[in-house]
Amino acid sequence: MTKAELVKEISQTTGTDSVTILSVIESFMSEVKSSLERGDEVTLRSFGTFCLKHRAEKVARNLSLNTSMVIPEHDIPSFKPSTEFLKRLK
């Protein structure tokens, strides 16, 4: 499902215009990004948690050039679904 399809679906379900729904979704995504940039987690009860995972420094190989390179430590965004969410998918 794309963002446009999500906006359309929510708009039809709630009866709210799609411009307002798009604004809410954009604001939500912006706040999640800002929270993760600050190092905070975003927890939505019965849905899941957006968090950062730390990756340690490692040596990677480029097989086509037969060279090695060091990938520095970094954080990546992650989503951990809640147990209720996982149960619903089963």
Alpha-carbon span 17 to 58, nearest angstrom: 48
pLDDT of residue 55: 95
Query: Is residue 27 within 8 Å of residue 36, measured between CB atoms?
Result: no
pLDDT given at position 75:
95
pTM: 0.79
48 CB-contact burial (10 Å; exposed 0-12 / middle 13-18 / buried 19+): middle
Backbone angles phi, psi at 45, to 5 degrees: -55, 135
Q: Are 74 and 60 in contact (CB under 8 A)?
A: no
Each residue's pLDDT tens digit, 23-45: 999 999 999 999 999 999 999 99
Q: Please report where in the chains the tokens 């679906």 appear, as a residue.
A: 9
Q: What does the pLDDT look like over 49-78, one tens digit per residue? A: 999 999 999 999 988 898 999 999 999 999
